[in-house]
C-alpha cells in the first residue's frame, strides 16, 4: 500500500518517485499503443486519415479557446470523440495521441511547449472509450431501443456510487493519508463504493429497467433520469462555485491586457453564506429539473441521456489516468483554469495527488459530457454523404 | 491568404540546424528522462548544458523570448505549491491566512525547474527544425507515412482554420450577427460561428480524400521523397550515444528505487 502515500507526508523527492514510475509505465503503454495504432493505420481508409487531420485541428482550435478563457474545463477532445464515433476506437485513440503531440509543436495557447504532450495517454484513452461507446450505439439510440435499459441501469449505479462516496466522505472520511491504517481504509472504502455501484446497476438492469422493446415506460424513465441528473449537476456546480468555502470564496483574478497593465477582478463577494446559498441552489435545481422535463418531452430529446452517461463515464476514466500525470509531472498545477480548483481542494485538506484527483473527478465528467453532447449535435447535422464515407458512420449514427 | 505553418522555426545555418531531426528528438528525450528521473541537482548541469548549446547555436534571444509561453504555468506551479503544499510546516513568510512553506517552495521550484528544462530543450528542437523535416526523418526511419501525413496536415490546417473562422465571422456579421460588445454578446456569437466552421471543415474532408486518392496516396509501393533530409556519420554516432545515455539514466533511477 506504499504507493498511496504519494506526497502526502510532505517529503519532496522520494515521494514523487512512485508516480514517476507509474508515468514511465504509462509511457511504455503509450508506445505500445502507438505501435498498435500504427499497424492498424494500414487498415485506415484515406477518408479516415484526412478526417483525423481535421479532427486534430478542431481539438486544438477549441482547446486553445478554452485555455485562453481560463475555464476549469478542457474541451479539447471534440475531434477525438468524433473520430472514435465515425471511424472506430483505434482511429480515435490515434487522433487523441497525435492531437496532444502536434499541439505541443505549435505556438498556440494551451500547448505551452511540452505541457499537453504529457497528457497524450489521457487523450488516447478518451478516443478508445469514445469508440467503444459509439459501437454500443450511444449516438444512434431511439427512446424505444432495447439498449436504453442498460444505460439507465449504468446511470443508476453511477449515482449510487456517488451517493456512497458522499456518505463515506461525511462519515469515515476518504483520501489517502500517511499512516498505513487509513490507507487500508481508503482502499477498502474505494472498493466498497465501486461494489455498491456495480450491484445497484446490476439489480436495476434485472428489475426496473428489464423491459424490452417499445415499452412506453422507458420513455418516461428517460425523461425522469434527464430531469434528475440535470438537477443534480446544476446543484453540485452551484455548490462548488458559490458555497462558503468553494471556488469563488478564493477567486481573485489578475488579467493582463495587451497594453500590459493588470486588472484585478475580485469575485469573493459571490460566495453566498450558507442557509441562503443552500436555498438558492435547491430552488435553481428544481427549476432546472422542471425545464429539463419540458425539454425532454419534446420529440426525441430524451435520447441525449445515454450520450451523457457515456460522456460522464469517459470523464471518470480520463480523470483517473490524468491525475498521476498531473501530480507527478507538474506537481499538481498545470497553468490552466483548473488550477483554482486544485488550490481549492488543497485548502480543504487534500494532498498533492488527492487534490488533483478531486479536481479531475470534478472537471472531467462535466467536460466530457459537454464534449459528447457537442459531438452528437455535430453528427446529427453532418450530411449523410460525408457521414457514410467512414467505416462506422452508417452504423453508429442514427440522425 | 494562408500563412505557412513554420511554427517556432528560426531560420539559420548553425551546427544545431544541420543535425538530423531524429538526433535532436533523441536529445530532447534524453533531457526529459534525465530531468525527471535524476535528483534535482542534475537540473543545474542540464541548464548549463542547454545554455551552452543555445549560445553556440546563436539562439539565446529567441529562447529567452520563448520563455514567455510557460510563464503563467511556472508562476502557478511555484505559487500554488508554495502556498498550499500539504504537510508543509516550516513557514518562511506568513501573510494573513496564507503562508509560504519551505517544503512547498522547494517542491514548486523543483517541479517548475524540471518542466522549464524540458521546455527549453523542446524549443531548441523546434527552433532549428522544420516540422516537415522532422516527420520526413521519422518516415525514413520506419514511421508510417500515413501517420506523418495526419500530423503534418493537421499542422497546416490550424492556420487555415483560423482564416476560415475570420471569413465566417465576416460573413455572419454581414448578415447582422453582433460579434462585438460584452462578454455575453461574444459568447452568444460563438454558436452561429462554431457550427459552420466545424461542419464546413468536415465537408472538406471529402474533397481532400478524393484529391489524395487521385494522387495515389493509398498506393503501397514506389514512394519517393520530395524533401531529402541529410544524415551524417556524426549524427549516427550521436544517436547511439544518446540512446546509451537514456538507458544509463533509466537504469540508474530504477536501481535507486529498488534499493
Buried b (16+ CB within 10 A) or exposed e, A152-174: bbbbbbbbbbbebbeebeeeeeb
The residue-averaged pLDDT of A320-348 equals 73
Q: What percentage of chain A has pLDDT greater than the value 70?
A: 70
The residue-averaged pLDDT of A271-296 equals 82
Q: What percentage of chain B has pLDDT greater than the value 70?
A: 88
- In chain A, list all ranges with CATH 1.10.1760: 2-135
Angle at CA B142, nearest 5°, toward B141 and B146?
Answer: 120
Is pLDDT of A141 > 80?
no
- How far apart are alpha carbons A364 and A318 in whole angstroms? 7
- How far apart are alpha carbons A108 and A334 in whole angstroms? 16
Q: What percentage of chain B has pLDDT greater than the value 90?
A: 15
CB nearest to A52's CB, from B126, B150, B213 = B150
ipTM over 0.90: no
Is pLDDT of B120 > 80?
yes
pLDDT: is B220 or B10 the higher one?
Answer: B10
The residue-averaged pLDDT of B13-33 equals 90
A3-56 pLDDT tens trace? 334 444 344 444 445 555 666 666 677 777 767 766 665 567 888 889 999 999
How do the residues of chain A divide into helix, strand and coil, expressed in percent and rounded to 5?
Answer: 75, 5, 25
Q: Are A116 and A98 in contact (CB under 8 A)?
A: no
Residue in A8, A10, A267, A390 to test binding to B, most B beta-carbons within 10 Å: A10
Per CB-CB distance under 8 Å, the chain B contacts of A356 are: none
Q: How many CB atoms lie within 10 A of CB A226?
A: 23
Residue B76's pLDDT band, with cuts at 50, 70 and 90, is confident
Task: Report whether CATH 1.10.1760 matches the domain A2-135.
Answer: yes
Residue in B152, B154, B199, B246 to test binding to A, most A beta-carbons within 10 Å: B154
Listed by number, the residues of chain A in 5-34 with a beta carbon closer than 8 Å to a beta carbon of chain B are: 7-10, 12-13, 17, 20-21, 23-24
Is pLDDT of B198 > 60?
yes
Quick one: closest CA in A to B254, which residue?
A: A21
- How far apart are alpha carbons A61 and A367 in whole angstroms? 16
pLDDT of residue A300: 75
Residue in B35, B84, B163, B223 to test binding to A, most A beta-carbons within 10 Å: B84
Angle at CA A7, nearest 5°, toward A174 and A12?
Answer: 165
Per CB-CB distance under 8 Å, the chain B contacts of A9 are: 87
The residue-averaged pLDDT of B142-156 equals 83
Instruction: Map grid coordinates 476549469 to a residue.
Output: A72
φ and ψ of B114, to 5 deg: -60, -45
* Whole-model pTM over 0.90: no
- How far apart are alpha carbons B154 and A100 in whole angstroms? 11
CB-based contact, B184 to chain A, within 8 Å = no
Is pLDDT of B2 > 60?
no
| Every domain of chain B and the residues it spans | 1-129+229-259, 143-223
Listed by number, the residues of chain A in 171-190 with a beta carbon closer than 8 Å to a beta carbon of chain B are: 178
Strands (E), chain A: 252-256, 262-266
Residue A52 host element (H or E): helix A46-69
Buried b (16+ CB within 10 A) or exposed e, A260-276: eeeeeeeeeeebbeeee
Distances (CA, A) of A169 to A166, A324, A351, A355: 5, 22, 15, 14
pLDDT of residue A14: 40
The distance of B174 to chain A (nearest Cα, Å) reads 24
A91-107 pLDDT tens trace? 898 899 889 888 877 76
A288-310 pLDDT tens trace? 888 888 888 887 777 888 899 89
The residue-averaged pLDDT of A126-155 equals 83
All residues at 6 or more sequence positions from A251 whose CB lies less than 8 Å from its CB, including other chains: A266, A267, A268, A270, A340
A165-224 pLDDT tens trace? 878 777 766 555 544 555 567 777 778 888 998 898 888 888 877 765 566 777 788 888
CB nearest to A105's CB, from B37, B131, B150 = B131
All residues at 6 or more sequence positions from A238 whose CB lies less than 8 Å from its CB, including other chains: A280, A281, A284, A285
pLDDT of residue A16: 46
Residue B259's pLDDT band, with cuts at 50, 70 and 90, is low
B25-44 pLDDT tens trace? 899 989 988 888 788 888 99
Instruction: Map grid coordinates 497594453 to a residue.
Output: A259
The residue-averaged pLDDT of B223-243 equals 87
Torsion of CA A137, A367, B187, A292, to 10 degrees: 60
Angle at CA A77, nearest 5°, toward A74 and A82?
Answer: 150
Least confident of A111-125, A278-292, B83-97: B83-97
Amino acid at each position: 500500500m506504499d504507493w498511496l502515500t504519494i506526497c502526502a507526508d510532505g517529503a519532496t523527492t522520494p515521494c514523487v518517485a512512485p508516480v514517476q514510475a507509474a508515468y514511465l509505465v504509462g509511457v511504455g503503454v503509450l508506445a505500445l499503443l502507438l505501435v498498435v495504432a500504427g499497424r492498424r493505420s494500414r487498415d485506415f481508409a484515406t477518408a479516415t486519415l484526412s478526417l483525423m487531420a481535421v479532427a486534430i485541428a478542431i481539438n486544438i482550435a477549441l482547446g486553445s479557446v478554452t485555455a485562453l478563457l481560463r475555464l476549469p474545463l478542457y474541451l479539447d477532445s471534440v475531434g477525438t470523440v468524433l473520430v472514435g464515433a465515425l471511424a472506430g476506437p483505434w482511429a480515435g485513440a490515434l487522433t487523441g495521441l497525435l492531437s496532444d503531440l502536434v499541439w505541443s509543436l505549435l505556438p498556440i495557447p494551451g500547448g505551452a511547449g511540452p505541457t499537453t504532450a504529457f497528457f497524450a495517454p489521457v487523450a488516447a484513452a478518451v478516443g478508445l472509450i469514445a469508440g467503444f461507446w459509439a459501437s454500443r450505439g450511444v449516438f444512434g439510440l431511439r427512446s424505444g431501443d432495447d439498449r436504453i435499459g442498460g444505460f439507465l441501469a449504468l446511470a443508476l449505479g453511477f449515482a449510487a456510487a456517488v451517493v456512497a462516496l458522499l456518505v463515506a466522505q461525511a462519515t469515515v472520511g476518504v483520501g489517502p493519508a500517511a499512516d498505513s491504517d487509513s490507507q487500508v481504509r481508503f482502499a477498502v472504502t474505494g472498493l466498497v463504493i465501486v461494489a455498491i455501484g456495480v450491484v445497484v446497476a446490476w439489480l436495476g438492469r434485472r428489475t426496473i429497467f428489464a423491459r424490452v422493446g417499445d415499452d412506453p415506460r422507458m420513455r418516461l424513465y428517460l425523461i425522469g433520469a434527464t430531469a434528475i441528473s440535470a438537477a443534480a449537476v446544476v446543484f453540485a456546480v452551484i455548490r462548488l462555485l458559490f458555497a462558503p468555502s468553494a471556488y469563488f470564496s478564493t477567486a481573485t483574478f489578475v488579467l493582463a491586457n495587451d497594453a500590459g497593465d493588470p486588472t484585478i477582478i475580485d469575485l469573493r463577494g459571490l460566495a453566498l453564506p450558507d442557509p441562503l446559498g443552500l436555498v438558492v441552489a435547491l430552488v435553481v435545481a428544481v427549476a432546472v429539473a422542471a425545464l429539463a422535463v419540458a425539454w425532454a418531452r419534446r420529440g426525441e430529446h430524451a435520447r441525449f441521456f445515454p450520450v451523457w452517461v457515456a460522456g460522464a463515464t469517459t470523464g471518470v476514466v480520463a480523470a483517473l489516468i490524468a491525475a498521476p500525470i498531473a501530480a507527478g509531472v507538474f506537481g499538481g498545477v498545470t497553468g490552466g483554469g483548473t488550477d483554482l480548483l486544485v488550490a481549492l481542494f488543497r485548502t480543504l485538506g487534500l494532498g498533492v495527488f488527492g487534490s488533483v484527483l478531486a479536481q479531475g473527478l470534478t472537471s472531467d465528467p462535466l467536460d466530457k459530457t459537454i464534449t459528447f453532447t457537442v459531438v452528437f449535435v455535430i453528427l446529427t447535422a453532418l450530411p449523410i454523404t460525408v457521414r457514410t464515407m467512414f467505416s462506422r458512420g452508417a452504423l453508429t449514427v442514427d440522425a | 491568404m494562408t500563412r505557412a505553418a513554420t511554427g517556432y522555426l528560426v531560420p539559420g545555418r548553425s551546427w544545431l540546424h544541420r543535425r538530423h531531426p531524429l538526433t535532436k528528438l533523441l536529445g530532447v528525450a534524453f533531457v526529459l528522462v534525465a530531468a525527471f528521473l535524476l535528483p534535482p541537482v542534475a537540473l543545474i548541469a542540464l541548464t548549463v548544458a542547454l545554455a551552452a548549446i543555445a549560445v553556440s547555436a546563436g539562439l539565446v534571444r529567441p529562447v529567452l523570448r520563448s520563455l514567455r509561453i510557460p510563464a503563467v504555468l511556472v508562476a502557478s506551479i511555484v505559487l500554488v505549491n508554495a502556498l498550499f503544499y500539504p504537510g508543509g510546516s516550516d513557514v518562511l513568510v506568513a501573510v494573513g491566512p496564507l503562508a509560504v512553506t519551505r517544503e512547498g517552495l522547494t517542491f514548486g521550484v523543483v517541479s517548475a525547474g524540471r518542466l522549464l528544462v524540458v521546455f527549453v530543450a523542446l524549443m531548441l528542437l523546434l527552433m532549428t527544425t522544420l516540422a516537415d523535416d522532422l516527420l520526413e526523418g521519422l518516415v525514413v526511419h520506419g514511421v508510417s507515412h500515413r501517420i506523418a501525413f495526419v500530423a503534418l496536415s493537421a499542422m497546416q490546417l490550424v492556420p487555415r482554420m483560423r482564416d476560415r473562422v475570420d471569413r465566417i465571422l465576416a460573413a455572419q456579421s454581414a448578415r447582422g450577427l453582433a460579434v462585438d460588445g460584452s462578454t455575453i454578446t461574444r459568447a452568444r456569437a460563438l454558436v452561429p460561428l462554431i457550427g459552420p466552421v466545424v461542419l464546413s471543415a468536415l465537408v472538406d474532408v471529402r474533397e481532400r480524400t478524393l484529391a489524395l486518392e487521385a494522387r495515389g496516396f493509398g498506393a503501397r509501393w514506389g514512394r519517393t521523397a520530395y524533401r531529402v533530409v541529410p544524415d551524417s556519420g556524426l549524427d549516427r554516432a550521436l544517436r547511439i550515444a544518446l540512446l546509451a545515455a537514456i538507458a544509463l539514466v533509466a537504469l540508474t533511477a530504477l536501481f535507486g528505487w529498488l534499493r
